[in-house]
Amino acid sequence: MIVDVLTRVSSAQAFTGSDEVSTSSYDLGNVTPKRDVGSGEPLAMFIAITTLAADGGSGTFAFRILNDTDPALATSVTIVATTQTFAAAALPAGTLIEMMVPSGQITKRYLGAQAVLGGTTPTVSATIWFAPRSFGQFYKSYAAGYIIE
């Protein structure tokens, strides 16, 4: 599956502060019926860690799915789901975290992501996108600097 640029909300984005939102949002459109996400093939948010998480010794890392009426994810944000909290050692580069978008809970036009970082100096870089849940079985991370001939 090819990840569409319109479904990608972060591209190797460096998250350095708690509650930092994705650089972009996924526009579900102004359609009828209104945002019936999840009836059909389930939708998921995928978080691919692109740079090893660093924490200064005590950091914690979690991610949220956000729903908002504003594409900048800054007006009337609803937290739809939150991952478990991870330690830095659990998030090496290449890690894929999959979160289901709960059916029946999306009521606003835009979906986005948020990093919830805790501790002294936590940082992590991630590429985040929305795709059908089945995408996760095809994901493969490759080391940087590979050559395909």
> Residue 137: pLDDT above 70?
no
pLDDT at 138 over 70: no
pLDDT in tens, 5-60: 889 999 999 999 889 999 999 998 876 666 667 567 788 999 999 988 887 667 88
Place of tokens 């080391």: 143
Mean pLDDT of 87-114: 90
pLDDT in tens, 46-96: 999 998 888 766 788 999 999 999 999 999 999 999 999 999 888 888 899
Give CA–CA dist 65/78, Å, rounded: 9
Torsion 126-99-68-75 (CA) sign: negative
Question: 143 pLDDT exceeds 80?
Answer: no
Q: Considering just the CA atoms, what is the radius of gyration of the chain in Å?
A: 15
Region of 145 on the Ramachandran plot (φ > 0 left; ψ -120 to 50 alpha; else beta): left
User: What's the pTM value of the predicted model, to 2 decimals?
Assistant: 0.85
Going along the chain from its start, the domains and CATH numbers come out as 8-134 (2.60.120.1110)
